[in-house]
Structures are given as C-alpha cells and as structure tokens.
A and B are shown apart, each in its own frame.
Chain A
Amino acid sequence: MKLSSYQAFKSAYRDTIEKELGDPSVRRAKKELIDAAFKPHSTGPYVMGICLVLLAFGFAGVYLFYPKIAAKKNTALEPAYEIVSTQKDLETLTEKITGETAQDVIRRPNIEVMRVSSKTGSTIVYQRLHEDTPITVVWVLTGGSVK
C-alpha cells in the first residue's frame, strides 16, 4: 500500500481529520465539555421571585392537603421485589463474556450482572465492548427486539 504523491498524502491527511471530526464520540466530547464546564448561570431576580412564589404555594398546599396525603401514604404499595443485601444472594450471571470481549477480560469484567428476574417475561443478558467501554444489556422479552 502506497500513497503515490504528496498531494495524495495531503488528501489522505485531510480526509483523516475530516472523518475524525465526524465521529459521534467527538460530538459527545464537545457537548460534555459545553454542558459540564460552561453551563449558563440560571439565577436572577426574576427567577428568584418566581421561586419564592412557588414556595409560598407549596407551603399553602401542604397546609391544606397534608392530612389527605398522609392518609393515602399508609396504603402505599409495597415493593414486589426483594432488596438484595446478603452476599449469598449475589450469584454472578455473567461469568462468561463471549465473543470479542472475551480476550479483553483478564480478571473480573467491568460489569457483572449478579442477578436478573422479571414477573412479566423471560430475561436475557448481553454484553459487548464498544470503543473500550463495556456495554451491557439487560432485557425482558415482552415484545422488545434485541439484535
């Protein structure tokens, strides 16, 4: 493989940069930078005024409606799932990472699915590496479609 001329090199060079700029991860990096570092300030007397008004309404609402809310909370639904808190419950479901991720896992994988269940359908777990970041899918088959 060869580049036949300096102009061919220049063209390849420009193409390389052009394609790099078009990569979604570059757009993501730009957005992350803008959102994280240069978020516009959102305070101002006008906004503060609105907040105070809303707060006043909030207090009024609590004062007027609290007895009803308290009564309703007593009949709130209990979770239909168990909270896992003991070591023995944590059986690893993803000890075998298949395909392209297998050779990259030296010790424990970055993401392990310890447990998965559903009351509404069968579940599947799928993992792969995407640009050095492990991606994991935990899915319940109620009609959804995973490739």
Chain B
Amino acid sequence: MLLPVAVQAAGTTPVKVTILLASNQGKDFDMDNDDYRDELIKLFAYSYYKQTNELRVELAQGKREIVPLGDDFELVLSLQRQEAERIYLQAVIRKGRQAHVDTVLSILKKGVVFVGGPETPSGTLIVVLETGM
C-alpha cells in the first residue's frame, strides 16, 4: 500500500517502534490501535496486551538511538549499514549494563520483528520493530 510521502530527514531510515507489555492478567488488547493483533494472537500465549508507546525513529548510519521502554529498560537501535534496499539493524534491549536481548537483523524492504522476553513488574516486554513503511 502506498502512503503519502512523509517528511523524512535525508539519509535516514525510518523504523516504527511499538512497545507492548504482555501478561496473563486479564483478557484484552489495550492498544491504541489494532496493529499486530492477529500476529500477537498467533505468536504468543498471553491473554492481555497493553501498548505503552508507539513512535517512529529515524536511524542514521552509525548513530545510536535510545528509546526508553519503562522500568529502567532501554531499546538501543543502530543502523549498521545499508545495501540497496536491505538494511542491517542492531537492536538491544538493555537494563543498565545488562543486555537482555542483543540482535542484528538484516531486513529487506518491509518487515516486522518482535523482540522481547524481558520481564518487568507490569508484564513481559515486547518491542515491535517495523521497517519499510
């Protein structure tokens, strides 16, 4: 689907970041939108999902972007490099010095990646990264 071209800083790659907390307390999709509803049902065994934030990050090559995730967790995104339509993206969910998840992804055009698993008092952290919007 073509979307109107949004103003975007030159040389940056946009990544949509949606932050969710999942748990088995309750039965609801408490999200601002219905994005990923189907996927969440198919992929995960939780009964309750709450969206805590959704934002768009513009990644420039070699520059790190830090997104607070709540409960002292942070998401660190960095664009390693780009080759034609494929991007190499590093995503780290960390708390202090500890990297709970550290992954490098190679994504061609449009893709959705669910990165998560760290436990917080409010639920299990799931970060949805979407590229190629």
A–B interface present (Cβ within 8 A): yes
Stretch from A5-13, A23-31, A54-62 that touches the partner: A23-31
**Contact assessment for B3 and A90 in the assembled complex, using a CB-CB cutoff below 8 Å:** no
Instruction: Judge whether B124 and A114 touch: CB under 8 Å.
Output: no
Give A117 to B98 CA distance when docked, in angstroms: 11
Do residues B78 and A116 form an inter-chain contact, with CB atoms below 8 A?
no
Q: Do the beta carbons of A143 and B113 come within 8 Å of each other?
A: no
User: B38, B45, B108, B124: which contacts A24 (Cβ < 8 A)?
Assistant: B38
Out of B22, B34, B101, name the residue touching A116 (CB < 8 Å): B101
- Residue picked from A77, A83, A115, A128, most chain B C-beta under 10 Å: A83
Q: Return A109 CB to nearest CB of chain B, in Å.
A: 8
B119 near A144 (CB under 8 angstroms)? yes
Is A77's CB under 8 angstroms from B97's CB?
A: yes
Query: What is the chain B residue whose CB lies nearest that of A37?
Result: B4
- Give the tally of cross-chain contacts (CB within 8 A): 165
Most chain B CB neighbours (cut-off 10 Å) among A111, A112, A113: A111
**Interface bits A82-113 vs B (CB < 8 Å: 1, else 0):** 01110001101000000000000000111111
Given known A32-B3, A36-B4, A90-B88, contact A136–B111 (CB-CB < 8 A): yes
Interface residues on A, range: 35 or more
Contact B124 A143 (CB under 8 A): yes
- A31–B33 contact, CB under 8 A? yes
Tell me the bound Cα distance from A58 to B80 in angstroms: 33
Tell me if B50 is interfacial: C-beta within 8 Å of chain A.
no
**For the complex, what is the distance from the CA of A142 to the CA of B91, rounded to whole Å?**
18
| Interchain CB contact under 8 A, B119 and A142 | yes
Which residues of A have CB within 8 Å of B109? 110
B14 part of interface (Cβ distance < 8 Å): no
- Residue A115 contacts which of B3, B37, B39, B103 (CB distance < 8 angstroms)? B103
Using Cβ atoms and an 8 Å threshold, which residues of chain A touch B103?
Answer: 113-117, 138
- B60, CB-defined interface residue at 8 Å: no
B10 within 8 A of A: no
Sort A-B residue pairs by CB-CB distance and give the 5 closest, nearest first. A140-B117, A144-B117, A80-B97, A112-B106, A114-B104
**Extra A-B contacts (12), CB below 8 Å, given A32-B3, A85-B80, A90-B88:** A36-B4, A37-B3, A81-B92, A115-B103, A131-B38, A135-B39, A136-B114, A137-B43, A137-B116, A140-B101, A144-B116, A145-B45
